Structure 1
C-alpha cells in the first residue's frame, strides 16, 4: 500500500488499510484523516480522498502498523465515558484506574453523609491531592463527581501538566496544578484524601516491551530502578503520606496485579488503619489504601 493508492475513494483507502491493521483502527484513523463520520464512510464510500488526506492517512496507518498506540495517533482516549486529550508525554488511560476514582468518590460521599471531625477541620471543602496526575484523568473525574471538593494535582513532568491543564479546561473543572516530585511542591499542606496511580512496573518486566508500551513514557510506567520490584514509588507515597494527611484522612494507591499484599503491609507498618484492597473489573486487587486515625 502506498500513498498513491490512498488518493482514491474513502472505501478503497479503508479496504487497503485493513490489509495492514485492524478494521476498526483503520476506520477511526480514516475518519481522523479525512474528517468523515462513520455514517459517511458507510453511506458514501465513493467519496474522494484528497492527496493531502491520503498522505496523512498513509502515515497514520504505517505508524499504527509499527505498534504505535491508536490513542496517540488520534490524540485522545476515553476514560469513565469521557474523552481526554493524550500525547506521548502521558500514559494512555486504562479501565483499571476506574476503581481508584470509585473508591475516592466513596470516601467523599461517606464524609458528606456522616460529617466527621475530618470534614469540620477541613472547612467547608474537603481537600484532595492527586500525585503523579499525568493526563489529569483522576483529578478531573473527582472534580466532576465531587464538585464541592478542592482539588490539587501534582506531576514532575511539565509536559504532562500541559496535557492535564488542557483536559481540565476541556471538561470545565477547577484544579490547582503543581509541578514537582511527589510531596515536594506541597510544602506542609495537609489533605483529607491523597490518591495516586504511580509507576509500579518493575524496570526489567517483559511486559514493558509489548502492547504499545515502548511508545508510552517509561518514567510513568516504572520506577526505573534496576532489579527492583516496582514498589519504589509506592514506598515513597506511603512513607510521606502521614505528614500530608489530616487526621482521619485516607491514602489510596493504584498498584500492580501482584502488589496488593506488599502495599497493605507498607500501609500497616506506617500506622494506617482500616487497610484494605479493592478489585478492578477483572477481579484483580488493583487499589489499596488506609486511613490515618483521628488524633
Structure 2
C-alpha cells in the first residue's frame, strides 16, 4: 500500500508485515469489528479494512500517529475511525471480534520515558513488557465471544510470560508465527546494555519476532 509516515510515527517494518500476514489468515465474522491498538502508520487498520472488516477503529496515544492513520486510510479508500488515547481507554466498554497490537517491546535502559518522538514507539521499559503486560490484562475484556487477539513482539522480552498472562485471563493462546529478522536500529542502539543483561549474545545480528494468537473461549 502507499503509505505516508509523519515524523515521529512508527513506520511499517518486519513486525508490521508479520502481523498483517496473520491478520489476513483470520476468518472475520459478518459485520466484524476490528481494533488496532497503537496503530502508528495505520497500516494494520488498512489491512483489516481490506480484509473485510465492517468497522475498524485505530487508536494511538500520539496525535501524529492518529493523523497518519487517518491519512493512510483516506489514501487507501478505507473507512477507519481514528481515536487518540492510551491503549484501550478511548474504547472502554466496546467489544471487538479482532484486536491487533504491535506495541513498544524493546527492552530499554532505565531512564525517564520519552514523551514523544520515534524513541517512544520502541520503549518497552527495562524488561520490554511495560505495555505488553497492560495489553494482556486489558484486551480480554474487549473481546467478543470467540474474539481474537493478534499480538506481535520480540522474543527478547519473553514469550512464555505473554502466553501465561493471556491464559490466566481466560484466553486460549499460542504462538502463531515466528520469524528471524535483523536487529532494528533501536535494538542496535541498546546492544551493549542488552548484551550485559544476557538478552543478546556476542555478535548476535538477528532477533526472533513472534505473533501470539489468543482466542476468547
For structure 1, the residue ranges without an aligned partner over 5 or more in a row are 1-81, 112-118, 206-215
Rg (Cα) greater in structure: 1
Instruction: Determine if contact 2:20/2:44 at 8 Å carries over to the other structure.
Output: yes
Give the Cα separation in 2 of the matches to 1:246 and 1:91.
Answer: 28
Q: 2:36 aligns with which of 115, 130, 133?
A: 130
- Name the TM-score, length of structure 2 as normaliser: 0.78
Please state if 1:86 is matched with 2:5.
Answer: yes
1:232 corresponds to: 130
Structure with the bigger percentage of strand: 2
For structure 2, the residue ranges without an aligned partner over 5 or more in a row are 111-116, 182-206
**How far is the alpha carbon of 1:285 from its aligned partner?**
4.0
What is the RMSD of the two structures over their aligned residues, measured on CA atoms? Answer: 2.1
Q: 2:47 aligns with which of 141, 145, 155?
A: 141
SS in 2 for 1:199: coil
Please state if 1:271 is matched with 2:170.
Answer: yes
Give the Cα separation in 1 of the matches to 2:165 and 2:76.
Answer: 35
1:249 corresponds to: 147
Q: Comparing 243-252 with 83-92, which one deviates more in the overlay?
A: 83-92
Give the Cα separation in 1 of the matches to 2:11 and 2:140.
Answer: 30
1:220 corresponds to: 121
Structure with the bigger percentage of helix: 1
Please state if 1:176 is matched with 2:77.
Answer: no
Aligned residues: 186
Give the Cα separation in 1 of the matches to 2:66 and 2:53.
Answer: 23
